[in-house]
A and B are shown apart, each in its own frame.
Chain A
Amino acid sequence: MKWALAGGVVALVALPAVLSSYALTLFILIFFYGFLGQAWNIVGGYAGQLSAGHAAFVGVGGYTATMLSIELGLTPWVGMLVGGALAALLGAIIGYLGFRFGLRGFYFVLLTVAFAEICRVAVSNIDALGGPLGLYITFTGNPRQFQFQDGRVYYYIALALMLLATLIAWAIERRRFGVYLAAIREDEAAAEALGVNAFKYKMLAMVVSSFLTGVGGTFYAFYLFSLQPNTLFGIPLSVEIIIRPIVGGAGTLFGPILGSFILTPLAEISRRYLGQGGLYGAHLIAYGVLLIGVVLFLPEGAYPRLRRALARRAGATR
């Protein structure tokens, strides 16, 4: 397992040498959505608190770094940490409101959706933030401005982000923190009865998750050179963030990554071919059918199933 993992990372590092520019873009998106999915996985998967408004953190992070860069000339390399911190603050506020009374899962879902919508409406109405049209970043190609002539740099940054989030998830999983989160997810009342401070650990998971997602917002903004409230804070982005770890396997280390490798190419290819034919919603219909199918037939996600299948084969050949 360890060797396969190391081999996989080495292969991904070497890969840009042979990729076409379209394939490079595809991989950047796979890594980036894998990163966002992994960040969500910490609170949504391990802690089992289904946030349906993670786009809010992408938006806060992206807008913060962009505004700091435009208004104060602060490099996005620092701005992304400030954006992450502000996103974490928002995460803490939402978490406090949602977890305070130990309200059942769906309240949290609705609360996160509502907060993301509040942010979207608010940002759309603040002229200093560009209003409904949003902000545009002029391309300078200056690495200090988080802009690169060579697409491969974005590839490595996205890969590093995904690996970083996975490392954090791995560290959480191995520690007592991860065990507490699993206990809270499976049976919160029982966990509390055993002395686990559910509020504290859910808050922690939320803050870590929203910080990472906020950092991702900077990458998103500076990779696309533009920020619109409807895309950055919108519910569709939240769905994109959720669906990959769920399909891959929420609460597992490799679920979000596997989910992104399955879904991102699917989404991009159907967007490219069906969207050009004027069939706008086609890839979202596929998403919907996939979600329904996963819930009904594969509720634990693809990764646990894959792992069992591999283990069986290993057992058979031995």
Chain B
Amino acid sequence: MDLTLVVQGVLSGLLFGGVYSLMAVGLTLIFGVMRVVNFAHGDMMVWGMYLAYMLATRAGVDPYVSFLVCAAALFALGLLVQRGLVDRIVDAPHEMQILLMLGVALVLENVALLAFGPEPTRVRSPLASATLWLGPVFVDVARLVTFLVAVTLTSALGAFLYRTDLGRTIRAAGDNTYGALVIGTDVRRVYAVAFGVGAACVGAAGALVSPILPFQPSTGLSLSVASFNIVIIGGMGSLLGAFVGGLLVSLAESLGAVFLKPSLKELFSFSLLIVILLFRPAGLFGRRSA
């Protein structure tokens, strides 16, 4: 095995992991606050990708700029889904919530299929073809920029949740809904904001990854599965866990593609999942009670 190849695999895996982290942070935020698993997470991300695609082809906006628009649009979608649907069943059994979100996922995916067709697409960006050479290994500039932006957004989200009043309120409502209600928190508003922010994360992640990853409507499903994987590995509801888990899973997939073959890369991350469930079912950074 060529060492350069391995280093290359580690590097591109870690760089791609930024997007996985951002995606998983969104999922874990929604789960941590509302205890609702967003089964439409990947499909929301695909809508972020198609939005970036439309902005690039119709208005000529580069995805590295339009990701802000995509995040805002997905924030609105998340808010709408929470207010219109999830809000009615926050206290229902988990099965019901999962089925509801599965319904939302089916609608989002297949509306995309009707609108854009089944062929894979990719967003063109001048950055996508540029590479930097660091000695024998190369760095994909698009991946580097994607990584940096994704990590910046994740850190900004962390700062929002831990340093601002609204962020603290969101965490409080997630930790103890009843207690938050007692001290006069508008929990419904907090839920709506949290769902919106969670969806905005995938909106941005989708736009950022759109020049790197070819996508089609059915991509949403595998992205959903990948984000579930990551949050279970990191620990459901843990932001740090989602961040580290995203990097780890991406690394595992990248190395899987190097050592085995690219079509087997998912097998690596699923094996990681099973090992975690066997030995540390609450996840790397999770609490047992989650």
Contacts and interface: CB of A to CB of B under 8 A. Distances in A.
Given A113-B225, A121-B264, A280-B118, A288 B107 contact: yes
Given A105-B95, A114-B229, A97 B111 contact: no
Contacts of A100: 281
Interface of B is mostly: helix
Interface string A117-140: 110011011000000100000000
Contacts of B274: 97, 114
A291 B264 contact: no
Contact of A280 (B89, B114, B229, B271): B114
Given A118-B270, A284-B106, A287-B106, A50 B114 contact: no
A285 B266 contact: no
Interface string B99-127: 11011111111111110001000000000
A287 B111 CA distance: 12
B1 interface: no
A281 interface: yes
A139 to B, nearest CB: 29
Given A295-B99, A296-B88, A122 B267 contact: yes
A40 B37 CA distance: 22
B106 A97 contact: no
Given A105-B94, A117-B270, A292 B232 contact: no
Interface string A216-238: 00000000000000000001000
Contacts of A50: 94-95, 98
A109 to B, nearest CB: 6
Interface in B135-151: none
A124 B118 CA distance: 21
A97 B277 contact: yes
- Place the interface of chain A in its size category: 35 or more
Nearest to B106: A288
Interface of A is mostly: helix
B95 to A, nearest CB: 5
Nearest to B271: A118
Contacts, number: 125
Contacts of B100: 291-292, 295-296
A10 interface: no
B221 A295 contact: no
A97 B278 contact: yes
B98 A109 contact: yes
Given A97-B274, A235-B221, A292 B109 contact: no
A299 B93 CA distance: 10
Contact of B85 (A118, A280, A296): A296
Contacts of A48: 95
A104 B94 contact: yes
B92 interface: yes
A106 B37 contact: yes
A113 B232 CA distance: 13
Given A97-B274, A111-B277, A125-B263, A291 B103 contact: yes
A281 B261 contact: no
Contacts of A273: none
B217 interface: yes
Interface string B63-88: 00000000000000000000001001
A288 B103 contact: yes
A94 to B, nearest CB: 10
Interface of B: 37, 85, 88-89, 92-96, 98-100, 102-114, 118, 217, 221, 225, 228-229, 232, 236, 261, 263-264, 266-267, 270-271, 273-274, 277-278, 281
Q: Which 4 A-B pairs have the closest CB atoms?
A: A281-B110, A288-B106, A291-B103, A288-B107
